[in-house]
Structure 1
Amino acid sequence: MKFRPCIDIHNGKVKQIVGGSLSDQNSKAVENFVSEQDAGFYAALYKKDNLSGGHIILLNPIGTDYYIQDCNQAKKALKEFPQGMQIGGGITEENAVSFIEQGASHVIVTSYVFKGGKINFDNLNKLVSTVGKEKLVLDLSCRKRNGEYYIVTDRWQKFTDVVVNQDTLDTLSEFCDEFLVHAVDVEGKASGIETELVELLGRWNKIPITYAGGVSSLEDLNLLKELGKDKLDVTIGSALDLFGGSIKYSEVVSCTDQESGSRKVSE
């Protein structure tokens, strides 16, 4: 299990929020933590600890003043850790290359691909043509409805008709290098992982998947490793002491294997 660190940016500041609380109206969200440090600070820390493959997420809508502020923060992080972090939030065919040129290793995409509630293969192919499959991460962040996990878009506010299952993973893996999956119903709550989703993802093993959502303890990391059959990487937000939580960042770094994931987390 590899630890993939995060930098979430909202209203021009590094924050941790409750995932399902984002609203376009007045750019509101329920905040767990607002950092006094900028995004460059966190990127420099991750670089020092050799934690490549983490992600920067821009949480404001594209076309707003806050989105521009988010991008300015992201530039600081990409400058500190070039080729060390991925970036998502408002990524389209038009702006994807600019983020790669600024130093992102990959672009992370949801809404542009899952347009109108379905998979927009035209947009997906445009992205592959623009940046290449090897630099594309698809964000399959999802919420449970009627017993199944549906991909959600537009800052996790809108349900699509696309279910996260083996067939969907098989199909989409042909177009991207990795998946990022936020369990939105537990995101930012540090209330425990979404076990059913983790088991579903752990039964599939073709390209890397990073799981995010609900990790609240080292015990949760062990459970994630067990239920995910040691196939999933992990990101931790609100529960990490870097962002006001109780899990020590240094312990997560030391007990997750950045190479093979072979070490067990110590409780």
Structure 2
Amino acid sequence: MATHRRRTRFRPCIDLHAGVVKQIVGGSLSTDESKLQTNFVASQSPAYYAQLYRDNGLTGGHVIKLGPGNDAAARTALSAWPGGLHIGGGITEQNALEWLAAGAEKVIVTSYLFPSQKFSLERLQVLERLVGRERLVVDVSCRRRGEKWVVAMNKWQDLTDMEVDQASLKMLEEHCSEFLIHAADVEGLCQGIDEELVQRLGEWVTIPCTYAGGARDVSDLELVDRLSGGRVDLTFGSALDIFGGKTVRFEELVMYNKAMASV
């Protein structure tokens, strides 16, 4: 009997900043708000986007809280689609169960795993025991340094002691069910994905993995599928029409996912 390889699919996102859905140039996030470069500020609520994704059967999307003041907004999104979205941004052992109870399908963690910017396996194991491996996503969003990618935390401003490579991902896979990876250097620029990183991820990962950063055309889905062997999914942000973009129609992505589901 023929076996079919996994195919790349579109994963939706809701990025929250100061309680509002926004699309931001990732590299501009910092403690200095005057440096923030914003591509889009929504007039619609977080719940509107959650309902839109729900109506179109777009599973595995993520809600990311970029800094403080986003908890109430995040809760409205989760309540619009209980069990349909992942939540990230400030997740710790103190609040992980609370966010699952609020309706998140999974919790996404980064900064908590890197006290003083150094990886703590103990903290990862604590979270795994608390919520279960299947409900835990590790965000290994990164910045490129020479020929390497280094995990970045605190709004992608602080580099950690972890390189994104086969060894680190293999270790992390034992304790989580998915990866989320923002390529922070190209996030929000709509100038193309980090093709080398996507190809490497396709070689390294064995669990579901979602890449975000630089996607600008619906054909990027086929590009990621080819580069990663279908092992990496793709998020669109600033290029997408529902976020004020000009080059990617939401309807096209929904149709693509439906086509992939029937392959």
The question of a shared fold, defined as TM-score above 0.5 by the shorter chain, is answered with yes
> Distance between the aligned counterparts of 1:103 and 1:122, measured in 2?
26
The residue aligned with 1:250 is: 251
Partner deviation per Cα, 1:124-179 (whole Å, 9 max, x = no partner)? 11111211111100001011102100000011000112111111110000010100
Per-residue deviation, 1:205: 3.9
Q: 1:36 and 2:55 equivalent?
A: no
Per-residue deviation, 1:54: 0.1
Cα distance change on mapping 1:16 and 1:86 into 2, 3 Å:
same
Partner deviation per Cα, 1:5-40 (whole Å, 9 max, x = no partner)? 000000111000000111123485210000001100
Q: 1:12 and 2:13 equivalent?
A: no
SS of the counterpart of 2:113? coil
Cα distance change on mapping 1:50 and 1:93 into 2, 3 Å:
same
Number of paired residues? Answer: 255
- TM-score, L = length of structure 2: 0.93
Partner deviation per Cα, 1:25-58 (whole Å, 9 max, x = no partner)? 3485210000001100000000000111100000
> Distance between the aligned counterparts of 1:57 and 1:242, measured in 2?
17
Q: How is 1:84-103 mapped onto 2 (pairs within 5 angstroms)? A: 84-103=84-103
Per-residue deviation, 1:115: 2.4
Partner deviation per Cα, 1:69-100 (whole Å, 9 max, x = no partner)? 31111111111100000000000000111000
SS of the counterpart of 1:75? helix
* More moved, 27-36 vs 250-259: 250-259
Q: Which of 51, 56, 64 is the aligned partner of 2:63?
A: 56
CA RMSD of aligned residues (A): 1.5
The alignment-based identity, stated in percent, is: 47
- Contact in 2 for aligned 1:240/1:248 (Cα 8 Å): yes
> Distance between the aligned counterparts of 2:62 and 2:225, measured in 1?
20
Cα distance change on mapping 1:111 and 1:58 into 2, 3 Å:
same
Cα distance change on mapping 1:28 and 1:201 into 2, 3 Å:
same
> Distance between the aligned counterparts of 1:118 and 1:177, measured in 2?
22
Task: Mark the runs of 5 or more structure 1 residues left unpaired by the alignment.
Answer: 61-66, 263-267
The residue aligned with 2:239 is: 239
Q: How is 1:176-195 mapped onto 2 (pairs within 5 angstroms)? A: 176-195=176-195
SS of the counterpart of 1:203? helix
Letter in 1 for 2:116: G
> Distance between the aligned counterparts of 2:141 and 2:37, measured in 1?
18
Per-residue deviation, 1:240: 0.4
Cα distance change on mapping 1:78 and 1:259 into 2, 3 Å:
farther
> Distance between the aligned counterparts of 1:261 and 1:89, measured in 2?
34
SS of the counterpart of 1:256? helix
SS of the counterpart of 1:23? coil
> Distance between the aligned counterparts of 2:158 and 2:169, measured in 1?
20
> Distance between the aligned counterparts of 1:26 and 1:16, measured in 2?
15
SS of the counterpart of 1:32? strand
The residue aligned with 2:215 is: 215
- Contact in 2 for aligned 1:2/1:257 (Cα 8 Å): no
- Contact in 2 for aligned 1:2/1:258 (Cα 8 Å): no
Partner deviation per Cα, 1:237-261 (whole Å, 9 max, x = no partner)? 1010000112000001101348658
- Contact in 2 for aligned 1:91/1:109 (Cα 8 Å): yes
> Distance between the aligned counterparts of 1:179 and 1:117, measured in 2?
19
Letter in 1 for 2:252: E
- Contact in 1 for aligned 2:166/2:205 (Cα 8 Å): no
Letter in 1 for 2:48: F
Cα distance change on mapping 1:229 and 1:248 into 2, 3 Å:
same
Task: Mark the runs of 5 or more structure 2 residues left unpaired by the alignment.
Answer: 1-7
Cα distance change on mapping 1:116 and 1:261 into 2, 3 Å:
farther
Q: Which stretches of structure 1, 4 residues or more, deviate above 4 A after TM superposition?
A: 257-262
